[in-house]
Structure 1
Amino acid sequence: MEERKAIPTLYDWAGGKDALEKLTKLFYEKVLKDDLLYPVFKNMSTDHSNHVAHFIAEVFGGPKLYSEEDKGSHAIMITHHLGKMLDEPKRKRWMDLLLESADETGLASDPEFRSALVGYLEWGSRIAVINSNTNDNPVNENEPMPKWGWGETKGPYQG
């Protein structure tokens, strides 16, 4: 009988930390040149793109770069969106630029990975819009980081 290989994490499939940092670096360079998104991100810190890469890395099953190295948490990530008043045009432009950056940086482009990536980005960006229209963080500091894999959708119906 054939030995079954372990299923790689999305983090590993994407190419790890370097690939995700390359992705977010290019993406935020585009954001700062974009008329619609520039006002939202004009005051971001110089290490913002790396923090986002580390957050995605951890969510995608990689090492705890965001929560341990960057001293972040899911609640802290949500805090960055509070009161930003994001809307659907900004969310769509954000998605477009990120997926464009994924293509340009050579991020894995197979249908299975891209399906998982787009699923996560749609989920996360829609939550960001919801959270940006309030000043109250719905996530407490003790809640775990989100985890994303090869297509399992999490729903509000799960306890």
Structure 2
Amino acid sequence: MKNTPTLYDWAGGNQVLEDLTKLFYEKVLADELLLPVFRNMSAEHTKHVAHFIGEVFGGPELYTKHDEGSHAKMVAHHIGKLLTEEQRQRWIHLLLQSADELKLADDPEFRSALVAYLEWGSRIAVINSNLTDNPLQQDAPMPKWGWGVPGGPYIPEQ
């Protein structure tokens, strides 16, 4: 496919990701397993997470430029949280449920890339949650996530 869109563009851009994280964190705050982890999150948390995901998915640098974030700062939020596998799985379940409710792109290639990123990122979060020090240097690069293999969204031939 010529001019393959970024995952960010295919998902629908910043507003879609902000809507996704807003709905998702409403579910998180109503979930007794996840509530203890997130009950004290800032009012801007949902936007910061949307901006982080957007940047990782090839969108503008809203997280690093406007939210003054970095990959190391995102990792730092998980240090010492002692997240469990059950919490990780619930987190993914609620995020994918929110994506379905918002009718986020559901073609196989996009969902495969999304689930792969959520699996990777949530497993890294659990690992980091059991540490006492941040393993990343402040200037660690932001992760960049793409379509993977075979590459690009599925568009049936007409």
What is the TM-score when the length of structure 1 is the normalising length?
0.92
Structure 2 distance, partners of 1:42, 1:101, is 19
Aligned to 2:28: 31
CA offset at residue 142 of structure 1?
1.1
Residue 103 (structure 1) aligned with residue 88 (structure 2): no
CA deviation vs aligned residue, 1:64-123 (integer Å, no higher than 9, x gap): 000001000000000000000001000000000000000001110000000000000000
Q: 1:41 aligns with which of 38, 41, 52?
A: 38
Aligned to 1:156: none
8 A contact 1:119–1:151 mirrored in 2: no
| Stretches of 4+ aligned residues off by more than 3 angstroms | none
Structure 2 distance, partners of 1:102, 1:63, is 21
The alignment's C-alpha RMSD in Å is 0.8
Structure 2 distance, partners of 1:124, 1:143, is 15
Aligned to 1:157: none
CA offset at residue 5 of structure 1?
2.4
CA deviation vs aligned residue, 1:127-155 (integer Å, no higher than 9, x gap): 00000011111111111100000026xxx
Aligned to 2:55: 58
Structure 2 distance, partners of 1:135, 1:12, is 36
Q: 1:134 aligns with which of 126, 131, 134?
A: 131
After TM superposition, the structure 1 = structure 2 runs for residues 1-159 of structure 1, keeping only pairs within 5 Å, are: 5-151=2-148
Q: Which amino acid aligns with 2:118?
A: L
Q: How many residues align?
A: 149
What is the TM-score when the length of structure 2 is the normalising length?
0.93
- Segments of 5+ residues of structure 1 without an aligned counterpart are 153-159
CA offset at residue 47 of structure 1?
0.7
